[in-house]
Amino acid sequence: MIGSLRGVLVDRCGRGEHAVELLVEAGGVGYRVVAPTRAYAGSPALGAAIFVHVHTHLREDALTLYGFPTRDERDCFEQLIGARGVGPAGAVTMLSVHSPSALRRAVAADDADALVAVPGIGPKSAARLLPELRARLDLDAGVDMEVVGPGAVPSALGDLRAALAGLGYSVEEIRQVLAGLPEEGRVEDLLRLALRDLAAAR
């Protein structure tokens, strides 16, 4: 089982909107690695050294490597695919929309809207997934449980999502604009950036 790769990034190409395929050459062998777009949106550059934490996924008809820049992201991916109804492709999509810490905060806060922002997850699926993910994700990793109580939204992005929904923007518009914003900051500043980006997109 391959647990990591250290080599040179030879190529990078998209695999849909939420996944990217990296070609990592290590020891004279090129390994095709599927990764979340958020993790490898623009770096490292082609020809640069790269270290990838790898999950080896073996099925009867295929062996696929999934890669992540940190061990935390790989661990989160492995926790996600253990949940009922979440396969590797779904887990990659989740980690393209949310970082592991943002996902843990959303689950700890029962923020179903954050899950609905992930393509392929509707309100009913989000309601079913929340208790499942709460049991599987390591919510103590990067989440202050004294601050995050039931129904709370500990992230500025949660407040921003609610504000944009109140202004009439769709779930898809909100998902796309949040993907390009920092996870932390004042809600007022993030809202200004979001409205600018939404206006430019229309």
3-state secondary structure of 24: strand
Pairing of strands 63-68, 29-36: parallel
pLDDT at 195: 87
pLDDT at 156: 66
Confidence class of residue 20 from pLDDT cuts 50, 70 and 90? very high
Domain locations along the chain: 4-70, 155-202
- Class of the CATH domain delimited by 4-70: mainly beta
Average pLDDT rounded to a whole number, residues 124-132: 91
pLDDT surpasses 60 at 189: yes
Asked if residues 185 and 154 have their Cβ atoms less than 8 Å apart, the reply is no
Q: Which two tokens stand for residue 66?
A: 């999934």
Confidence class of residue 57 from pLDDT cuts 50, 70 and 90? very high
Report helix angle 156-166 to 187-201, nearest 10: 50
Its pTM stands at 0.70
Average pLDDT rounded to a whole number, residues 99-119: 88
> From CA 67, how far away is CA 54, in angstroms rounded?
5
